[in-house]
Structure 1
């Protein structure tokens, strides 16, 4: 999937010349925590978020550095702090460096950018113009959509077992030399030895995610990897 498949096309934006009050009212009325700033040409100019409005003169929360720290802060830094606390327009308080993503980018790029920069949403651009926005919520909606796939369920046990084995063999961590699966009436019985509980959990996930499986019975034995001692005898897990 790519960004264009999941993004919200109607992106709420604001102009750099808009007032801070207008930006706050828009965020409150739309129940959002940030707005992308777009100039008259439609180009992305910045972003204004709740975080940009925390240090404000109206709230008495403007940044007041101790006198000794003011000596270390450059005049430019102090002037910028004053503007952000007292500026009346969006351009005065917005963050200009905005990370955006192309509409044909893979979703992996979206997740990587969100994780690396600790952000919840990204503007989607085409030729420098904002054409939408992709957020964590959009990714969750896409996840639900994928779960509702309309592919027909396999009806015979042989097909289900083949799908399970193929899925397990595709995983480099799976202990295939000691692992086996049988399927009867869409119920999968998993047999074999494992050397850690993470393998057990992951094998369960693979089997449970195989289409057509109705239940999983765990007969796997936990073997201490250095001595070969049986630590955990099989039980009936489903």
Structure 2
């Protein structure tokens, strides 16, 4: 009588190779809705609603990242305008945007990027190359990447 193993045969585990997309640049959005510092907040609000986005990068004429404007920044302007009984038509992105912007490297592993999202509580990270905005990765993009990589070994 021999020994019987009750373990099922193991599938050979796949390893990530160069053809398996696991970098931020593989999943980032490249066609972005961007804003200029001189844009009016009302225009930003209309754009956020129209495009169903929660914020976007602010760039200068050279397409260099200079800030981020979000729904929260817009809501703050609405609230302050109402509280101080001031018109909103002169509020510009430049007065409301956040200018200290965290970015992510496009070559970063998608799972390391997921950890950055968890640590920072940001909804999006811009990707800058040679000083120019080239894309943006969002939490939803991370979910899409995880779903696409389903079935691969995540080591």
Class of the TM-score when normalised by the shorter of the 2 chains: 0.7 to 0.9
RMSD: 2.5
- The runs of 5 or more residues in structure 2 that have no matched partner are 1-21
Q: CA deviation at 1:15?
A: 1.0
2:28 is aligned with 1:25: no
**Structure showing the higher helix proportion among its residues:** 1
TM-score norm. by structure 1 comes to 0.49
Q: 1:36 aligns with which of 45, 57, 65?
A: 57
2:79 matched to 1:54? no
Would you tell me which structure has more strand in proportion to its own residues? Answer: 1
Asked if 1 retains the 8 angstrom alpha-carbon contact of 2:77 and 2:96, the reply is no
1:55 Cα offset (Å): 2.6
Distance 1:105 1:61, change over 3 A: farther
Structure 2 SS opposite 1:131:
strand
- The answer on whether the counterparts of 2:31 and 2:135 sit within 8 Å (CA) in structure 1 is yes
Displacement of 1:61 in angstroms is 4.2
Counterpart for residue 104 of structure 1: 107
Contact (CA 8 Å) 1:14, 1:37: kept in 2 or not? yes
State the structure with more CA Rg: 1
User: SS state of the match for residue 48, structure 1?
Assistant: strand
Equivalent of 1:92, from 80, 86, 95? 95
Native 8 Å contact 1:55 1:61 kept in 2: no
Q: Which of the pair has the greater relative contact order for Cα pairs under 8 Å at 6+ separation?
A: 2
Structure 1 residues 52 and 107, CA gap change in structure 2 (3 angstroms): same
**Map of 1:131 onto structure 2:** 134
Say if 2:144 is the partner of 1:141. Answer: yes
Deviates more, 1:87-96 or 1:43-52: 87-96
